[in-house]
Amino acid sequence: MDGKLARSAQAWFGALSVVLFAPEHLSLVRGSPSLRRQLLDRATFALCPPHLTVLVDYQRTLRSRNAVLRDRPHDGEALLAVYDERLAALGSTLIEGRTRTLEELVPHATSAWRDLAVGADLALAYRHSAATREELLLALSASRARDLARRLTSEGPHTDDLEITLGGRIASQFASQGQARALVLALKIAEIRRLSARLGDAPVLLLDDVSSELDKKRSRQLFEHVRDVGCQTLVTTTRPEHLELPEKPASFQVVAGAVTRSVFVAGKGVA
């Protein structure tokens, strides 16, 4: 960055605003809670890079606590007490950051959802059993016997979830395939709008083979929003004829590792 080596992820997260939309994100609605936690964490450290350091420290401490639960060293009780204090402090900071991020995302996501005209009201809520340092410390202490039996830590932000409901029903259980895709689209649009509003400048948008997963209608809606926000957008696809781009992009074709400049023709692909 500026001719100097960026030695940490935090350094360049604070300098470059990026939103990624990849095929695996379409599993976000029906997939495991870890995918939804990742969404919140990445959206958080996009504007607050120190959140990444807290997350890494929390995960490291969690692995250490689980190792004590698994290996049962002679000083295990003393070690668990130390790790409980550290997890509670780091965990409360994580939860605070995720909660603040979701509060900022909600109005953008519900607005984008209405724009997509899918029907059924969208609601987002961050579900956790404890939030403050004191609450987390008590929860870890209360679950000690269970954790020793299971050899895993059962309380903390690593077990939390982003609950998505449509018309009051849990989206992971009741959303149709079309609704699930539209939900992910609305969440990604919300990320773009939030960053644009907070930074006063649109983020770089990376679209990794999304045209293979989004139908023509959803693809068109996505690019309409991209045009409105004015993102610099980098797109990879194996089916360029499915891209609904608002204007002629700089286009490159990769064949057997060789990159050549090409001409994009809407609805026809590249030549």
Domain residue extents for the chain? 9-201
Beta strands in the chain (DSSP E): 18-21, 122-127, 161-166, 169-170, 204-208, 232-236, 251-255, 258-262, 264-265, 269-270
CATH number of 9-201: 1.20.1050.90
- The pLDDT of residue 25 is 85
DSSP letter, residue 212: G
Question: What pLDDT shows up at residue 232?
Answer: 86
Residues facing residue 207 across a β-bridge: 21, 235
pLDDT digits (tens, 9 = 90+) for 55-66: 999 999 999 999
Q: Are 97 and 54 in contact (CB under 8 A)?
A: yes
Rounded to an integer, what is the distance from CA 35 to the centroid of its chain? 7
What percentage of residues in the chain have a pLDDT greater than 90?
A: 50
Q: What is the pLDDT of residues 138-149, one digit of tens each?
A: 999 999 999 999
∠ CA 258-260-265, nearest 5°, is 135
In the chain, the amino acid numbered 8 is S
Q: What's the mean pLDDT when you consider all of the chain?
A: 88
Instruction: Give the residue from 225, 245, 227 showing the smallest Cα distance to 235.
Output: 245
What H or E segment, with its residue span, contains residue 111?
helix 76-116
pLDDT score, position 102:
97
Query: Mean pLDDT over residues 212-226, rounded?
Result: 73
